[in-house]
A and B are shown apart, each in its own frame.
Chain A
């Protein structure tokens, strides 16, 4: 692939119209000149999915303002004041004020609003503000007791999280060789999410859970200082910073809906508790160095590190005073430092003359690690906080483990005729872990590519990758038993460790092979001022085989095909279209162990008969399909008229076939889940007078989905999980907008 011809920006503008999903009348003004636009709009229906990110949720009418203003401080100077406004009037606003002098400094203060909404029409008896049950609540051991409950006013579980960001950025170029930067960011997360959470019951019994609306209220501040220096052919970048995350909902408590001391329910009347994201403080820094010690030789090195500390008071075993918990917490506070380090060095040498000047060699090395100083023995998890807990026999150690990664890559690039290049690369990656099922994974592979232009208008590129991963020290029992005492692990005969089946492996830790190849072609047959055409196509195939790991994920194949075309006729008409298709096929295999009660951790248990019974194997095949296509047209039929239209279609299809083994009591295949999205946009603009335009836009948005997870779920559907209702959220939205804009 080589640089695109200079007319690519024109094509990109046409393609952009089809790709970028912001409203044509919102977002950036479509002119390089200063100006502003004011838009009023109307949405026919509540737009949750459509308005998830763009600030157009809800229904009814609204107004939005965009503006770009820039002025020199004085005639003839290079200092400018800039003001940018985006979507003022919506929740997704941006206001930026800046002062700059080209080549010397720039300062900018920005205030931005973002939002994320996920509406699945779930509901809960709780509301975020109280998390208490409504009057007339019926108590019971599980949801079957709620059948007599009449419908109540549910707290809607729509997730809606807003972000407000205040950011101060400054750059100062002290000289041609030295510069400094400052970046301060204050970000607030505010809104509601929802999650399920277990109300712990005794081991062996069913675990009631409830979906809760969880208030979100957190602030993160960060400050980063940076500098760069160039001296004697070397460049050095330095950064250092600090951040702090404060979460006001670090512990969530709610009223136990089951309540209540009924037989079989070990959780007495009172509250439950859920841990939130912890407050933490982080210091980070980096150094990057680049030099050209000899002609054709380039060397870079960078190091990046951070230290995250937390000193948090923890919840008690249970906030419920009615429970008897004779074992005190090991510590009152969770005090831990967690460090991350990444090092990287790279070298590239390309002879500047002689026979080898068409070749270049590359070497790179990367090392990264994550260390936590939390001692493994410091925390013991008593499984359950019911009246017979904690029980030392059921204790587990915490599972935080350290990891490290080291990767070495060597490559050779050779330039070939037809503006081509052949690349060959070998790489080796080793990942190490402590206190985990797999201590070491080693991945070795080769990658090759060839690109060339047989004729000036045709660019071709091929690439292939083959790599194998070995789990050299796989030992499944570590995953389970390292959470207990090492003495016990060593004392237990292998054949008596009921879960030590040799085939039980976790896919990303298991030995596997990966193969991938991709091809890309771009054809630009005509390049002249009046007629331009470009056609591109891509194929991308990736296969992963986990055949050494019969259980869990055993294969994953993915294929992507794409084609796009753009046509520009004269200066008045642009047409573009594209299509992408993705196929993903995954196979998983498991063995049913027939359930049974959870075993006491420190109890020697004979192997379950199912552990070595292939007749109890099951296989599931998953097929994910994604099709997306778009067409767009930009047309200027008259000097004062511009028309734009685009349509995108996105279809997904996800199915599962299940092949049960003998004696398996599972049901059949799962229904296919489909989503359909149609999005049509039409815009017309007319320049009434010079620099003053009127625009009209219409958008049609339709989304349908058939996810069985949210179909016909009612108050009592889920037995022990209290979810008052759920259904798919489909929507059809029409949006009409009228805008006036001024450029000057």
Chain B
């Protein structure tokens, strides 16, 4: 009987809490440095109509015995709801548009929730203003995207610091410049439908169309380039001219083993020094010169 009364009281109180906005919740969950309970979803600003229970659902047994149970939608750490339930709490409002592909994206497949990357309750250390938050969905400035991503994708840290790299550390590009963490159209959640389309978004000079093209270029930029970073400029997966000889081992001069005899001070070899093969075959992506069949002009 006592349980029934307590449950009834809890339900009534939960309803009251929902009706009264955040007053009941904030009796205990006072804003502090790390959990202010306001921020992007604050009640005094952009989303004045939102309350705690809009996202956290009914309070249920949480109200009479807070330590024994969480609200219906708890984001942890003590009583976390399933990833689907947590994510659904966000997608109830933020569906469609940019989140159309979320359910089939790599992150959803890994059971990541929105809270894994987003701070629903804005943090005072976020390097962003309210305006920037509005643009980035609470992630903070462009700089913080990469730290967010590298928290899981740490295997890329070394590549991002390689001598040849995309300027991610400098904040000129971000992981999200190419990848859509909410489920992109291309492989590895790229924003564009294909890898080459993604690369050509920023490098239109390589788009062509070419009269004489270099077949690997039209198929897959990553056959020669490592997008995240490389020790071989410009983002090459290995040093040239050896990279070229991965394919060009047929007759004529590519068939020669290019060794130390091509170094300065020894017998000079135009295939080794300076821009090596590109000393002559400079139009390696393609050319529209009518006499450029060897990609030399």
Task: Give chain B nearest CB distance to A318 CB in angstroms.
Answer: 7
Q: How far is the CA of A664 from the CA of B216 in the complex (A)?
A: 30
Question: Is there a chain B Cβ closer than 8 Å to A384's Cβ?
Answer: yes
Q: Are A195's CB and B270's CB within 8 A?
A: no
- Name A's interface SS: strand
Q: Are A658's CB and B274's CB within 8 A?
A: no
Q: Are A103's CB and B46's CB within 8 A?
A: yes
Residues of B within 8 A of A310 (CB): 208-209
Q: Are A53's CB and B172's CB within 8 A?
A: yes
Q: How far is the CA of A564 from the CA of B152 in the complex (A)?
A: 11
Residues of A within 8 A of B264 (CB): 708, 711-714, 717
Task: Give chain A nearest CB distance to B144 CB in angstroms.
Answer: 6
Q: Are A314's CB and B273's CB within 8 A?
A: no
Residues of B within 8 A of A274 (CB): 282-283, 289, 297
Task: Give chain B nearest CB distance to A79 CB in angstroms.
Answer: 10
Contacts A27-B171, A274-B289, A720-B270; A498 near B251 (Cβ below 8 A): yes
Chain B 255-297, CB-CB to A under 8 Å as 1, else 0, gives 1111111111110111011111011111100011111111011
Q: Are B96's CB and A228's CB within 8 A?
A: yes
Q: Within residues 205 to 256 of chain B, which ones have a CB less than 8 A from any CB in chain A? A: 205-213, 215-216, 218-220, 223, 231-234, 238-239, 242, 245-247, 249-253, 255-256
> Can you name 12 A-B pairs with beta carbons within 8 Å?
A3-B75, A20-B144, A32-B129, A68-B128, A197-B280, A197-B283, A200-B291, A288-B101, A433-B219, A508-B223, A578-B154, A648-B161
Residues of A within 8 A of B283 (CB): 197, 274-275
Q: Are A12's CB and B144's CB within 8 A?
A: yes
Question: Is there a chain B Cβ closer than 8 Å to A179's Cβ?
Answer: yes
**Contact-size category for A:** 35 or more
The 8 closest A-B pairs by CB, nearest first: A667-B261, A21-B169, A82-B131, A16-B147, A381-B293, A102-B46, A342-B193, A53-B167
Residues of B within 8 A of A584 (CB): 238
B186, B212, B220, B291 pick with most chain A CB within 10 angstroms? B291
Residues of A within 8 A of B213 (CB): 399-400
Q: How far is the CA of A34 from the CA of B132 in the complex (A)?
A: 10
B86, B150, B259, B296 pick with most chain A CB within 10 angstroms? B259
Question: Is there a chain A Cβ closer than 8 Å to B16's Cβ?
Answer: no
Q: Are B126's CB and A32's CB within 8 A?
A: yes
Contacts A3-B76, A103-B47, A598-B252; A237 near B100 (Cβ below 8 A): yes
Q: How far is the CA of A540 from the CA of B119 in the complex (A)?
A: 30
Question: Is there a chain B Cβ closer than 8 Å to A593's Cβ?
Answer: yes
B268, B269, B297 pick with most chain A CB within 10 angstroms? B297
Whose C-beta in chain B lies nearest to the C-beta of A550?
B249
Q: Which of B22-30, B63-71, B110-118 is the interface stretch?
A: B110-118
Question: Is there a chain A Cβ closer than 8 Å to B79's Cβ?
Answer: no
Q: Which of A299-307, A683-691, A693-701, A731-739 is the interface stretch?
A: A299-307
Question: Is there a chain A Cβ closer than 8 Å to B3's Cβ?
Answer: no
Chain A 574-604, CB-CB to B under 8 Å as 1, else 0, gives 0000101110101011111101101100000
Residues of B within 8 A of A68 (CB): 128-129, 131-132
B residues contacting the other copy or chain, number (CB 8 A): 138
Question: Is there a chain B Cβ closer than 8 Å to A202's Cβ?
Answer: no
Q: Are B278's CB and A195's CB within 8 A?
A: yes
Chain B positions within 8 Å of A, measured between CB atoms, are: 33-35, 45-48, 75-77, 80, 83, 86, 95-97, 100-101, 103-104, 109-113, 115-116, 119, 122-132, 134-135, 140-144, 146-148, 150-152, 154-155, 157-159, 161-163, 167, 169-172, 185-186, 192-194, 197, 204-213, 215-216, 218-220, 223, 231-234, 238-239, 242, 245-247, 249-253, 255-266, 268-270, 272-276, 278-283, 287-294, 296-297
Q: How far is the CA of A124 from the CA of B10 in the complex (A)?
A: 82
Q: How far is the CA of A118 from the CA of B86 in the complex (A)?
A: 47
Q: How far is the CA of A13 from the CA of B144 in the complex (A)?
A: 8
Q: Are B103's CB and A298's CB within 8 A?
A: yes
What would 17 more interface pairs be, CB under 8 Å, given A197-B296, A368-B193, A622-B238? A20-B171, A27-B141, A53-B167, A53-B172, A68-B132, A237-B100, A344-B193, A348-B103, A362-B104, A381-B212, A400-B211, A586-B242, A590-B255, A622-B239, A628-B161, A670-B259, A718-B268
Question: Is there a chain B Cβ closer than 8 Å to A160's Cβ?
Answer: no
Q: Are B242's CB and A588's CB within 8 A?
A: yes
Q: Are A553's CB and B246's CB within 8 A?
A: yes
Whose C-beta in chain B lies nearest to the C-beta of A98?
B131
Chain A 700-727, CB-CB to B under 8 Å as 1, else 0, gives 0001010011111110011111010010
Q: Are B247's CB and A667's CB within 8 A?
A: no
Whose C-beta in chain A lies nearest to the C-beta of B241?
A709
Q: Which of A38-46, A128-136, A333-341 is the interface stretch?
A: A333-341
Task: Give chain A nearest CB distance to B165 CB in angstroms.
Answer: 9
Q: Are B100's CB and A278's CB within 8 A?
A: no
Q: Are A290's CB and B261's CB within 8 A?
A: no
Contacts A100-B131, A103-B46, A198-B282; A275 near B289 (Cβ below 8 A): yes
Q: Are A338's CB and B112's CB within 8 A?
A: no
Cβ-defined partner of B273 (8 Å) among A382, A431, A677, A717 = A717
Q: Are B163's CB and A622's CB within 8 A?
A: no
Task: Give chain B nearest CB distance to A186 CB in angstroms.
Answer: 13
Q: Which of A148-156, A258-266, A467-475, A499-507 is the interface stretch?
A: A499-507
Q: Are A28's CB and B128's CB within 8 A?
A: yes
